[in-house]
Amino acid sequence: MAQVPSSNILIRKLQTISELAEPDIAILGNARIEEKQYQANADILRDGDQPTLSFVVLDGMIGSTKMTGDGKRQITSFFVPGDIPDLHGLHLSVMDCTFTALMPSRVGFMRHDALRSICDQHPSITTVFWRSTLVDAAIYREWVTNVGRRDAYTGMAHILCELIVRLRAVGRIEDHVARLPITQAALGDALGLSTVHVNRVLQDLRRDGLISTVGSHFHATDWSGLVRAGDFDGMYLHQRAADVLRQ
């Protein structure tokens, strides 16, 4: 029905971290995907759920979030088009976090039993999926460090660098201009900061000529400066060499 199958972006993302064999690409391309649109701040899966579906991000951005007992929110990771945020649901029956759309987003659902049968029949795809969850874990590790040991200015620059590299890898931004209608509140929840402080840190980054913002457009005006300011080394994203060189 769709000229551009929604599995395309999934395949592209997986290719940024693994080499995919032709037959595997065909298998993944034929996977049945049910598309659905979400508004900003809509929950897709909730902490405590026992889902029978996983989803791939097609457009927009999804956050994996956790709430503390006193109602504060932490975003533990961003997920951009091509990512399968809840692939772990395939093997962990109860969700330990909530997936929320951080901007208007389109996602594609895939049935767990279908994914499991693909994995059973194609061990090489199992490896690719496993690797994808391992890269997610590597990103979590970096976020612990970012939140625990970097100050607000450095952490903000870091997280922006990560977003730009990941979006570039799947062709969603050119150069270092990102259309990122992400709220300052979301950035704060990602970095463990208040929205007020996020605002001030963004002003500092603008003052230093590292970024500029025009409405929801977000621009890294000094990429190497931003990388330096953010103490950023994208190695933890484990992208294939070919993709890294394309940066």
Partner DNA sequence: CGCGGGGTTGAGGTCAATCAATCAATGTGG
Partner DNA sequence: CCACATTGATTGATTGACCTCAACCCCGCG
Binding region for DNA (CB under 7 A)? 40-41, 151-153, 183-185, 188, 192-197, 199-200, 202-203, 213, 215
**In whole angstroms, what separates CA 112 from the centre of its chain?**
21
Cβ neighbours for 95, distance < 8 A, ≥ 6 positions apart: 45, 46, 47, 48, 49, 50, 51, 86, 89
Residue whose CB is less far from a copy of itself, 37 or 48: 48
Output the smallest distance, CB 206 to DNA, in A. Answer: 8
Closest distance between DNA and the C-beta of residue 229, in Å?
Answer: 13
For position 19 contacting a copy of itself by CB under 8 A, the verdict is no
Residue 66 found at the interface with a copy of itself (CB under 8 A)? yes
Q: What's at 161, amino acid-wise? A: C
DSSP 70-110: TS-EEEEEEE-TT--TTGGGGT-SS-SSEEEESSSEEEEEE
Instruction: Assess 68 for contact with a copy of itself (CB under 8 A).
Output: yes
**Residues 85 to 104 in contact with a copy of itself, rule: CB under 8 A:** 88, 91-92, 94, 96-97
Tell me how far, at minimum, the Cβ of 54 lies from a copy of itself, in Å: 12
Nearest Cα residue to 160 out of 123, 195, 187: 187
**Among a copy of itself, DNA, none, residue 239 binds (CB under 5-8 Å by kind):** none
**Contact criterion met (CB below 8 Å) for 198 and 191:** yes
What does 196 bind: DNA, a copy of itself, none (CB cut-off 5 to 8 Å by kind)? DNA
Residues 101, 62: Cα–Cα separation, whole Å: 4
145/141 Cα distance (integer angstroms): 7
141-143-149-150 Cα dihedral, nearest 10 degrees: 140
* Secondary structure (3-state) at 55: strand
> In the window 136-165, what residues touch a copy of itself (CB under 8 A)?
136-138, 140-145, 147-150, 154
State the nearest-atom distance from the C-beta of 56 to DNA, in Å: 24
- Would you state the structure tokens that stand for residue 141, as one six-digit string? 């590790």
Site for a copy of itself in 173-212 (CB under 8 A): 191-192
197 binds, among a copy of itself, DNA, none (CB under 5 to 8 A by kind): DNA
Min dist CB 164 to DNA, Å, is 17
Q: State the residues that interact with a copy of itself by CB under 8 A.
A: 48, 64, 66, 68-70, 72-74, 76-77, 88, 91-92, 94, 96-97, 120, 123, 126-127, 130-131, 133-138, 140-145, 147-150, 154, 191-192, 231, 235-236, 238
